Amino acid sequence: MINQQRLLDTFLALVQIDSESYQEGNFHAEMVSRLKKLGCSVFVDKAGKKMGSTAPGNIVASLKGSVPGKPFILSAHMDTVSPGKAIKPCVKKDRVTSDGTTILGADDKAGIAIILEILHVLKEQKMPHPGVEVVLTLCEEMGMHGAKNLDYSKIKGKDGLILDNESIEDLLVRGPGKYNFNVKIEGVSAHAGVCPEKGISALDVLTKAMSLMKHGRVDAETVCNFGVISGGRITNAVLSELSLQGEVRSLNAKKLEKQLKHMKDCFAKAAKAFTKKVDGKIIKPKITIDAPKSYAAQNLPKSCPGVKLALAAARKHGVALKAIACGGGCDANVMFEKGLLLPNIGVGVEKCHSTEEYLILKDFYKAADIVLDTLLSYHG
């Protein structure tokens, strides 16, 4: 049913239109034009302007269904990581690679090519099908900024698929939620040679907090890490200021909140431990914590249509698709928080985010068949 040659041609054309994050303008225009030609009504939100992208916004394109019910969502992201300029795809016997100087851009243009091919098939084969809602986002690679600023009021569907995973045997149904965790510790400076006891070392406060804190692998579902530390200029003064950046992730929303509170408590206890009286005056460390939520955890029920139907469609095509958890975040996490149930399906890509990225042709074609069958079996 899928036209493999056309699918490949579409893919090769898409990767040759540059769209590194924040510079998706030309690619965006091409998508709007192609989606309209394929019979969709196209809405563009204002997210792009807000984020400083050369594209005006995310795309929500709707194709009317010929059977009643809610539309089925197919989503992918338009941006690529760098180096993603002037990509020259090389078609080999069983795969497509870049020329080695750039990424290939199959993440996520393989997903977009599949979505466009499915719209072609629906148009020319006149088969009964549910409505389709195509959601193409900006700036996913920079922290899902497109999905975070998407105008969800324009989306009518609830179930669907995100096409943004590597292996066609993996269906991502759970992903961790994440907080960034930035701490500034201000101690009290004092001459290290003359009166160190009159100061409070920011380093002492930090080591105390860390000795109280569960970090690294916290439990089977939760991890916490500090990866950046900076502070200090001279050796003959008590270290008066230090900053630390880290993150906490958990597959379990409650555990994520609990660990975040625990981390804050540890710093508060450490600050208390170093509060003291010097020359009749109370001095204490000042701790400033900035912990913005990066994204929420995704936890799709096994019974939701996107998961159930994709597993069945894969079986039909001889692919042992497994519903699994992943360690990172993607648009699916952000959209889950907004009520959309979108497992993330693989499209046959390997070594994403590197100049060795490649697309396995037989898996790419199979993924297209699986996504099409999943869509056709949906009765929203």
Residues engaged in binding Zn ion (CB under 5 A): 107-108, 164
280 CB-contact burial (10 Å; exposed 0-12 / middle 13-18 / buried 19+): exposed
Tokens of 78: 């338009």
Smallest gap from Cβ 81 to Zn ion, in A, equals 8
Q: Which of 24, 140, 159, 357 is catalytic?
A: 140
In the residue annotation, 107 being an active-site residue is answered as no
Smallest gap from Cβ 354 to Zn ion, in A, equals 13
Rounded Cα gap, residues 20 and 65, in angstroms: 33
CB 173 within 8 A of CB 336: no
* Distant-in-sequence, close-in-space partners of 36: CB < 8 Å, separation ≥ 6: 42
Closer by beta carbon to Zn ion, 204 or else 350:
350
Smallest gap from Cβ 352 to Zn ion, in A, equals 7
Rounded Cα gap, residues 372 and 367, in angstroms: 9
Beta bridge partners of 175: 298
Closer by beta carbon to Zn ion, 176 or else 187:
176
Q: Which of 79, 107, 350, 369 is catalytic?
A: 79
Closer by beta carbon to Zn ion, 108 or else 363:
108
Tokens of 309: 């139907």
Rounded Cα gap, residues 264 and 270, in angstroms: 10
Classify the C-alpha dihedral 261-262-265-267 as positive or negative. Answer: negative
- In the DSSP assignment, the letter for residue 283 is E
Closer by beta carbon to Zn ion, 77 or else 129:
77
Smallest gap from Cβ 67 to Zn ion, in A, equals 31
In the residue annotation, 79 being an active-site residue is answered as yes
As annotated, the active-site residues are 79, 140
